[in-house]
């Protein structure tokens, strides 16, 4: 009797499964992606392998990021350096506390502007090796002092790259052991120091002018028109590689990893003197500005307005790039926001924070590190862009 009951139950289960299979097989399969060209409104089961997407409007994206971010950002960068040189000229003719404050304020403004273009590490910026001439740190204070003593130097030589730029100005404008009154006296009584200050600001102005002019007169037209491929050397490849390389090496590693000692393989000993703007004692506003600039650029946001048009985020969405349960663009934006939140939780001087509150700085670094594979692996894979730069970080 028990065997009959079990047999009957098995038959019922078999019938139920058969009904389910018939019901499932009768439901219509088709493309259910609303972004596809052939979305089937009657489909009940997703078969997105049948979806057709056409071509992403790469010309429109490149035109947007060029005309509405890159060009105005470089123009602003150039204008800020012109203003910096002008106030330095004014200070040199009449050194005063007010004039020194004006130079410092203009230096800060120009350095913030640099952060907004720093990750555009391709094209004219690469040709002029802009990052190596504008914002290398730590700087060589011995070379700076020797240049001032001798009064003879060539700032165009690569050997002076770590004795010029914004970080050399950081040293001169925040001279260790010197208050502001004594600093004014220093420049008043030392014509070589004043000349060096002017030469540094003029060098920045000329570099920014060269890069901006190159973009306006030569590079932008080719950048916007050469849009048929994502292969090495194409605008999209250059953008993605420049962005990934600069973020990985000069933001994540340079602004946080090296001072923390993360790359100090044997001891992990902190090296707080390696922070940006070590002598000024304020590093975090510049790191935050770089991340915010990257975020705007990735999302196709205009440089001088909140208008948002086609960017890399839209390109990732178009090809259906995902990360976990989110779109990849959402994961990247969430991570950028998490990084900014961690930076906001820190206190300057960052050199002190690394020693006094290291766990919090490590938390910020961890969030910075999480973004690397999102950009360097997931984004490049989704867009079909080959990484063409090399790093030796072991990450």
Can you give the pLDDT at residue 265? 79
DSSP result, 236-284: HHHHHHHHHHHIIIIIIIIIIIHHHTTT-TTT----GGGSTTTTTT--H
pLDDT in tens, 287-304: 999 999 999 999 999 999
pLDDT-flagged residues of the chain (< 70): 1-26, 33, 35-38, 48-53, 391-395
| Tokens, residue 276 | 């940006």
Tokens at 291, concatenated:
């991340």
Burial 151-166 (b: 16+ CB within 10 A, else e): eebebeeeebbbbbbb
Q: Are strands 29-30 and 45-46 parallel, antiparallel or unpaired?
A: parallel
Structural domains in the chain, CATH included, are: 2-50 (no CATH), 58-383 (1.20.1420.20)
Residue 243: name the closest of 310, 207, 293, 304 by CA.
Answer: 293
Residue 353: C-alpha distances to residues 5, 139, 342, 360 (Å) = 74, 21, 13, 8
How far is 254 from 361, CA to CA, in rounded Å?
Answer: 14
pLDDT in tens, 347-370: 999 999 999 999 999 999 999 999
- pLDDT value of residue 18: 57
Q: Exposed, middle or buried, 194 (CB in 10 Å: 0-12/13-18/19+)? A: buried
pLDDT recorded at residue 14: 60
User: According to the model, what pLDDT value does residue 395 have?
Assistant: 47
DSSP letter for each residue of 227-239: -S--STTSHHHHH
This prediction has a pTM of 0.87
């Amino acid at each position: 009797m028990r065997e009959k009951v079990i047999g009957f139950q098995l038959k019922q289960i078999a019938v139920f499964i058969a009904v389910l299979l018939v019901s499932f097989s009768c439901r219509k399969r088709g493309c259910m992606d609303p972004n596809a060209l052939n979305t089937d409104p009657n489909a009940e089961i997703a078969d997105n392998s049948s979806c057709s997407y056409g071509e992403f409007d790469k010309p429109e994206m490149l035109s947007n990021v060029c005309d509405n971010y890159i060009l105005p950002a470089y123009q602003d960068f150039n204008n800020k350096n012109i203003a910096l040189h002008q106030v330095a000229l004014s200070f040199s003719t009449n050194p005063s506390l007010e004039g020194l404050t004006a130079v410092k304020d203009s230096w800060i403004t120009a350095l913030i502007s640099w952060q907004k273009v720093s990750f555009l590490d391709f094209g004219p910026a690469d040709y002029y090796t802009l990052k190596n001439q504008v914002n290398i740190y730590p700087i060589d204070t011995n070379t700076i002092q020797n240049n001032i003593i001798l009064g003879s130097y060539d700032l165009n030589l690569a050997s002076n790259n770590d004795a010029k730029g914004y970080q050399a100005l950081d040293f001169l404008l925040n001279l260790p052991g010197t208050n502001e009154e004594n600093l004014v006296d220093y420049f008043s009584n030392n014509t070589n120091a004043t000349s060096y200050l002017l030469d540094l600001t003029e060098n920045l102005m000329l570099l920014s002018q060269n890069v901006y002019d190159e973009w306006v007169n030569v590079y932008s037209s080719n950048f916007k028109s050469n849009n048929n491929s994502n292969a090495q050397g194409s605008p999209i490849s250059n953008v993605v590689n420049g962005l990934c390389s600069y973020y990985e090496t000069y933001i994540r590693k340079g602004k946080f990893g090296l001072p923390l000692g993360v790359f100090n393989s044997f001891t992990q000993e902190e090296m707080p003197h390696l922070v940006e703007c070590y002598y000024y004692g304020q590093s975090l506003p510049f790191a935050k500005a770089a991340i915010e600039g990257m975020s705007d650029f990735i999302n196709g946001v205009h440089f001088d307005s909140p208008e948002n048009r086609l960017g890399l985020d839209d390109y990732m969405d178009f090809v259906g790039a995902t990360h976990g349960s989110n779109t990849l663009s959402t994961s990247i934006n969430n991570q950028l926001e998490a990084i900014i939140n961690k930076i906001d939780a820190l206190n300057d001087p960052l050199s002190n924070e690394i020693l006094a509150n290291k766990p919090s700085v490590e938390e910020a670094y961890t969030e910075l590190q999480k973004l690397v594979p999102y950009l360097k692996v997931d984004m490049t894979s989704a867009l079909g862009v080959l990484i063409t730069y090399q790093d030796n970080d072991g990450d």
